[in-house]
Amino acid sequence: MAAEGDDSLYPIAILIDELKNEDIQLRLNSIRRLGTIARALGPERTRKELVPFLAESVDDEDEVLLALAEELGSFVEHVGGPDHAHVLLGPLEALANVEETVVRDKAVESLNKIAEALPTGVFEDSFVDLLRRLSQGDWFTSRTSACGLFPTAYPRISSAETKRELRTLFSALSRDETPMVRRAASTYLGRFAKQMERDVVRAEMIPLFVTLAQDEQDSVRLLAVENCALIGSMLTSDDFTNLILPTVRQCAQDKSWRVRYMVADHFNELCEAAGADITRNDLVPFFKTLLKDTEAEVRTAAALRVAGVCSAIPKEITIKHLLPCIKDLVSDANQHVRAALASVIMNLAPVFGKEDTIEYLLELFLQLLKDDFPEVRLNIISKLDAVNRVIGIELLSQSLLPAIVELAEDRQWRVRLAIIEYIPLLASQLGVEFFDEKLGNLCMTWLGDSVYSIREAATSNLKKLTEVFGVEWAQTNIIPKVVALYTHPNYLYRMTTLFAVGVLASVVGQDAINNSMLPLVIRMAQDKVPNIRFNVAKTLQVLIPLLDNASVQSRIKPCLVKMQDDTDRDVKFFATQAMQLC
Amino acid sequence: MSSSYEPLEWKFTQVFGDRSPVEEVTDVDVVSAIEFDETGDYIAAGDRGGRVVIFERAQEKQHGTSKKKDVSKTPEYKFHAEFQSHEPEFDYLKSLEIEEKINKIKWCTRHNTAHFLLTTNDKTIKLWKVFEKKVKQVATTNMPPSGSSNNGTVQAYRSTAAAIPVSQVKMPRLTTRETVVAASARRVFANAHAYHINSISLNSDGETYISSDDLRINLWNLSISDQSFNIVDIKPANMEELTEVITSAEFHPQHCNLFMYSSSKGTIKLGDMRSAALCDRSAKTFEEEEDPASKSFFSEIISSISDIRFSRDGRYILSRDYLTLKLWDINMESKPVKSIPIHDYLRGKLCDLYENDCIFDKFECAMNHDGSLLLTGSYHNYFHIYDRNMSGKGDGSGYGGLCLEATKFPPKQVKKGLGSKMKLGRSKTKDQKGLGISSPDINPDTIDYTKKALHVAWHPKENVIAVGAANNLYLYAA
């Protein structure tokens, strides 16, 4: 849009008219620039004309309403500062009632912003009124929105009476007949409780928490898990044991795998909230059962938390209690569980230390490296550096190699692509000798892969390798092999040579370009395929800035001049483009 | 306890659709789905042309005198809204036409004054919002409407606008022209079904629903249209080993984790979403052992279940196969508590029905609010109402059965049912008021097999039923 950001080009009169244009894009544009309109009108007219007008515009498309809800959140300055901010509550209240969740959520977010700006007196009047209305609205949409306002509203209220009222309102919401409202209440219960004194939490919030944690709807119950951590972190360990732990236990043993999944997924937060002692004595047994859960989704989530949990408890306990479960997971029937484990198991090495890693973990790493499922092997390889720092690469390298070679030749090109991306990391871990001996050829075979993305990745891989091993290494090991490719009968592979030259040129230095690359590129300018020829022109464009003027003038320019007379239009075009750099 | 049984008097109340007695029914007008909303104040009907029509119950005048329902007063529905839910499409990848026919409609829990409905054809599910929309018109603007001054350039237009001092700029004023009932598609849940969708069902949690096709059942969140989770997959690795398909699926009315689905082999499976993410191993399987004596070439076809419904309390499951209506107790898997032959007189005609494809017709079934009365359709626009608490007789009659013919013309006044007659106790006269047809009176050779009362629905609270046959929607009340 031409007028973007330049208000003078887009007069206020038009902006205002377009608030009601039939074209939704124009309406959106005007809504997004409500700030500009308000500034032009001044605070008084904004309050008296614009805001009432907007309050009547809440029957628009969701997209427009979402934008409106967002803009209104930063409107306090436009209506004349905090003293007048209450006028914004009307339109936002209406927006907090609409059926589209994203709009409601945004309206709640903006209401919270306004709430913070409101002066205390006004707040205790109008905002609390609004909260009452929303909490007792006829439709569940308003009641769900209300839940999100309690955590912000509560600490701003001074009167104990009103505070109690708010708690009563919230308590009603958490017993609402519609599951949507109970879900919203459960979602905000933890944050709401955080605003209260510990005694009040114990007396009033814990009962709500317990009720919600026993809801008949799975979707409500599973939200209790997060509250275990949030509320738990406010309590003493005794209270945690008495008030929270039973719910954690109940959730960890829930009939619904979704609830157990939530426990597994939040296990690190739970450990943190519970503190070291409770974690060690009470939570570890739950974690063990989750690692052995019947549902693969739960085991996957638990497997992902293994490293976090193990770092929170003494090593002996891990070895005694969790290691057997981890061993079982290594040969789990479900590939996703193994893949999840593979992605974190390497992080156990720093926790275990060198000797224990060798004693307990190494065989697990090796077993996962031989997994049937490529993602498992990939996940191990991608985390290699963590182990390398602890035990060195030697112990792994013998098993590593077959795994890499197999992945490098996997039928799925995405797997090949993934392993290529890890090659520079591996190269730096394995060292130059090992690499030359075992992996050097592999990197070259990828240049001839049948999938373009692999060839492309292979060329940039060469560049990264050069950065790791240095230019000299590249000159003796890579460049000759790349140059040799240009004789390939298929032009697509010849093209790879050009791409490789283009990519490598920036790292190998002038000598190498002059001696081995440039002659090759110039020779290829005579290729019979026009596609190659214009790529030569493009590659030359890359080379020109890297070389000194003498060789550009004496070697590249004549070649380009010739190419400008090519019969092919594209070749001419790119040659001319390159000539401009000379 | 049948002694207290008092038969309901069913009365024809209304018919929607083409009233003229034309012989030729336009295919697109044929009713393909009927559903009451949770209050019973609205009925939605879908047709083969992809349209959905909504009827609203006319506001009954509140009589201050008595709160008791006036028997003589019949509920009346009137047209509320109509919208085109689905359009014919073509799948270019598979070279397949996708019909616009509405397979199922479900009403969502109300969020606000608007109504939300899920509708589906073979491939795509849509969430519709039907609401009263105020059509507003902009009455005053700062600039003249751009259409009227075409001579000026955009630049000129803008400079004119810029010349208006801010103090004179006014907010546009709107005037409401009229209020119309509008429908807008809020979400489109597409590309998740490789086969034809036969059912959709909303969960009691208010945020999810399932959709089932011939081989798979997917779980969706109502507000997320780009992902769904597969919860049942009965597709064999080798399609040549395919022996059964899913014919219908429904969520339990209260327990958010339970759902059931029926198969072409006559089994009903109850799945528990709590136990596993993929519910291939069902928690319960309801299946009646087949009597080897009655086995025939058609056994497998006629045992295919065409519709299943939970009772409102979730205790019973009603299932319909080609010839029978079965009521299952959720706690008894081995056999149904009731198995009611609907039109056993067709047993001898299966060969003909196979020839003319009628044997593949999918009749729906429904239960009243407390699950005591059962409803299903048949040929010749007949539909049957049975009483759960009545027992059957050897000849297949009984069950308090009542057979009515859905017709726009004054119905034949034939009193049915030895069963119901016997139970009346107070009167044995044949000319009992009410209407009904006795099944022994029906001659299978004179039945019109092109008239099929396939679709039925029961008001969630009252004894009001809707029957869809051809291009008509019939309403009856008792």
By CB neighbour count within 10 A (0-12 exposed, 13-18 middle, 19+ buried), where does B209 fall? buried
Report the chain B residue with the minimal C-alpha distance to residue A60.
B133
Q: Which residues of A are less than 8 Å from B141 in CB distance?
A: 17
Q: Which residues of B are less than 8 Å from A178 in CB distance?
A: 109, 206
The pLDDT confidence band at residue A354, using thresholds 50, 70 and 90, is confident
Q: Where on the phi/psi map is residue A327: left (φ > 0), alpha (ψ -120 to 50), or beta?
A: alpha
Q: Which of A12, A97, A254 sits opposite B169 (nearest CB)?
A: A12
* Side chain identity, residue A316: E
Instruction: Kindly give, in sequence order, each residue whose CB lies less than 8 Å from that of residue A519, ignoring residues fewer than 6 positions away.
Output: none
User: A91: closest CA among A125, A128, A122, A60?
Assistant: A60
Q: Does B171 touch chain A (CB under 8 A)?
A: yes
Instruction: Kindly give, in sequence order, each residue whose CB lies less than 8 Å from that of residue B155, ignoring residues fewer than 6 positions away.
Output: none
Rounded Cα distance, A471 and A476, in Å: 9
Per-residue model confidence as pLDDT tens digits over A469-489: 888 888 888 888 887 777 888
Would you say residue A447 has pLDDT above 90? Answer: no
Token duo for residue A490:
């298929």
Give the pLDDT score at A241.
Answer: 94
Per-residue model confidence as pLDDT tens digits over A53-103: 999 888 888 999 999 999 999 999 999 999 999 999 999 999 999 989 999
Rounded Cα distance, B88 and B100, in Å: 5
CB contact under 8 A, A256 and B273: yes
User: A270: closest CA among A255, A249, A300, A292?
Assistant: A249
Whose tokens are 């697109």? That residue is B28
Rounded Cα distance, A280 and B251, in Å: 41
Rounded Cα distance, A101 and A118, in Å: 25
Q: Which of B174, B256, B276 sits opposite A217 (nearest CB)?
A: B256
- The residues with which B385 forms a beta bridge, in sequence order, are B375, B402
Q: Is the pTM of this model over 0.90?
A: no
CB contact under 8 A, A8 and B206: no
Q: Does B204 touch chain A (CB under 8 A)?
A: yes
Give the pLDDT score at B258.
Answer: 95
Element (H, E) at B47: strand B42-47
CB contact under 8 A, A179 and B204: yes
- Maximum alpha-carbon separation in chain B: 94
By CB neighbour count within 10 A (0-12 exposed, 13-18 middle, 19+ buried), where does A306 fall? buried
Residues A299, A293 contacting (CB under 8 angstroms): yes
Sign of CA dihedral B30, B35, B37, B39: positive
Q: Which residues of A are less than 8 Å from B171 in CB distance?
A: 16, 19, 49-50, 53
Report the chain B residue with the minimal C-alpha distance to residue A36.
B166
Per-residue model confidence as pLDDT tens digits over A186-227: 999 999 999 999 999 999 999 999 999 999 999 999 999 999
B393 or A286, greater pLDDT: A286
Give the pLDDT score at A136.
Answer: 94
CB contact under 8 A, B138 and A11: no
Report the chain A residue with the minimal C-alpha distance to residue B256.
A217
Give the pLDDT score at B149.
Answer: 47
Q: Are strands B11-17 and B472-477 parallel, antiparallel or unpaired?
A: antiparallel
3-state secondary structure A253-288: CCCCHHHHHHHHHCHHHHHHHHHHHHHHHHHHHHHH
Per-residue model confidence as pLDDT tens digits over A516-545: 888 889 888 888 899 999 999 999 998 888
Q: Which of A9, A53, A218 sits opposite B257 (nearest CB)?
A: A218
List all residues of chain B from 106 to 165 with a beta carbon under 8 Å from chain A: 109-112, 114, 116, 129, 133-134, 138, 141-143, 157-158, 161-162, 164
ipTM confidence score: 0.83
Q: Of A1, A12, A14, A44, which to mutate for an interface test with B (greatest number of B Cβ within 10 Å)?
A: A14
By CB neighbour count within 10 A (0-12 exposed, 13-18 middle, 19+ buried), where does B120 fall? buried
Whose tokens are 């849009």? That residue is A1
Average pLDDT over residues A125-153: 94
Q: Which residues of B are less than 8 Å from A10 in CB distance?
A: 158
Beta strands in B305-367 (DSSP E): 307-310, 316-320, 324-329, 338-341, 365-367
The alpha-carbon gap from A227 to the nearest alpha carbon of chain B, in Å, equals 20
The alpha-carbon gap from B218 to the nearest alpha carbon of chain A, in Å, equals 16
Q: Which residues of A are less than 8 Å from B223 in CB distance?
A: 101
Token duo for residue B408:
């726009």
Residue B184 CA: distances (Å) to CA of A120, A141, A162, B119, B127 = 43, 19, 42, 12, 9
Q: How many contacts (CB atoms, under 8 Å) link A and B?
A: 109
The alpha-carbon gap from B321 to the nearest alpha carbon of chain A, in Å, equals 33
The pLDDT confidence band at residue A49, using thresholds 50, 70 and 90, is very high
Instruction: Kindly give, in sequence order, each residue whose CB lies less than 8 Å from that of residue A557, ignoring residues fewer than 6 positions away.
Output: A579, A582
Average pLDDT over residues A266-292: 94
User: B162: closest CA among A29, A10, A42?
Assistant: A10
CB contact under 8 A, B276 and A14: no
Would you say residue A1 has pLDDT above 50? Answer: no
Give the pLDDT score at A400.
Answer: 77
Give the pLDDT score at B430.
Answer: 37
Rounded Cα distance, A365 and A356, in Å: 13
User: A501: closest CA among A552, A558, A549, A540?
Assistant: A540
Token duo for residue A71:
């803009």
A445 or B159, greater pLDDT: A445
- From first to last of the 478 residues of chain B, give the pLDDT tens digit: 444 456 778 888 889 987 665 567 788 899 999 999 999 999 999 999 999 999 999 876 555 444 444 445 678 999 999 999 999 999 898 898 999 999 999 999 887 888 999 999 999 999 999 998 888 888 778 877 655 444 557 777 777 777 777 778 888 888 888 888 999 999 999 999 999 999 999 999 999 999 999 999 999 999 999 999 999 999 999 999 999 999 999 999 999 999 999 999 999 999 999 988 888 887 899 998 877 777 888 888 999 999 999 999 999 999 999 999 999 999 999 999 999 999 888 988 899 999 999 999 999 999 999 999 999 999 999 999 999 888 776 555 677 788 888 887 655 444 444 333 333 333 333 334 445 565 556 777 888 898 999 999 999 999 999 999 988 999 999 8
Q: Which of B109, B134, B171 sits opposite A49 (nearest CB)?
A: B171
Per-residue model confidence as pLDDT tens digits over A362-412: 889 889 988 889 889 888 888 877 777 787 777 777 777 788 888 888 888
Report the chain A residue with the minimal C-alpha distance to residue B184.
A61
Look up residue A334 and give its DSSP letter: -
CB contact under 8 A, A297 and B129: no
Chain A interface, Cβ < 8 Å to B: 8-14, 16-17, 19-20, 40-41, 49-50, 53, 56, 59, 97-101, 139-141, 178-180, 183, 216-220, 254-258, 294-297
Rounded Cα distance, A228 and A213, in Å: 9
Beta strands in B243-289 (DSSP E): 246-251, 258-263, 268-272, 284-286
The alpha-carbon gap from A210 to the nearest alpha carbon of chain B, in Å, equals 19
CB contact under 8 A, B142 and A16: yes
Give the pLDDT score at B413.
Answer: 43
The alpha-carbon gap from A28 to the nearest alpha carbon of chain B, in Å, equals 16
